[in-house]
Structure 1
Amino acid sequence: MDTTKKATAKVGDSVQGDLWSWYATLGESDGFSDSSFPGCQFRLKEHGTLDNYAVNIKVTGKPVWSGFSYHSRCVLEIVGDGEPSTFFGGQLYHKAT
């Protein structure tokens, strides 16, 4: 993998918020949007729960090899549905492309 270029988040990649003790998998967006919900890139599928959250991922760092996979710094946006979105930092775990 070219570690001089930023990665792109893809369905099946995992993310972990900076204060999370768990990982979540990026699932496909359902494509829904309306006047109070702008739509999202992915659905965040938490392990062990039926909830899935609308999320956008912006990769902000270059890929780093961790011995198991690559990870990159990212900003996660939990997309608000009629309320403001929530933004926080985290890691995107991904395979070489």
Structure 2
Amino acid sequence: MSPLPSEPEYDLYLFVAGSSATSLAAQRNIQAICSEHLSGRYSLQVVDAQQHPARAVAEELLGLPCLIKKRPGLVRRLVGDLSDRPRVLKALGLLA
């Protein structure tokens, strides 16, 4: 009998602009979503675009804060404070 496939690992990057109110809200929102829906199945890297401008340029960001889901599946990008939960869950592939 072959082992069951493990659940997908989510590779997430949140690009923020320092400690602005919108950036802090985006961090709180994505951390809450991850702990509720992806517990133990994700890695989340928060990158301050002001401290790492080369990474922000390399990712061709359209705005900040910006969540990038690199895996599983297609790369997805969301700009904003991530307060629209259904939209975030859909982008992460957690809602149909």
Normalised by the length of structure 2, the TM-score is 0.26
Of Structure 1 and Structure 2, the greater strand share is in: 1
Of Structure 1 and Structure 2, the greater helix share is in: 2
Which one scores higher on RCO, CA 8 angstroms, separation ≥ 6?
2
Normalised by the length of structure 1, the TM-score is 0.26
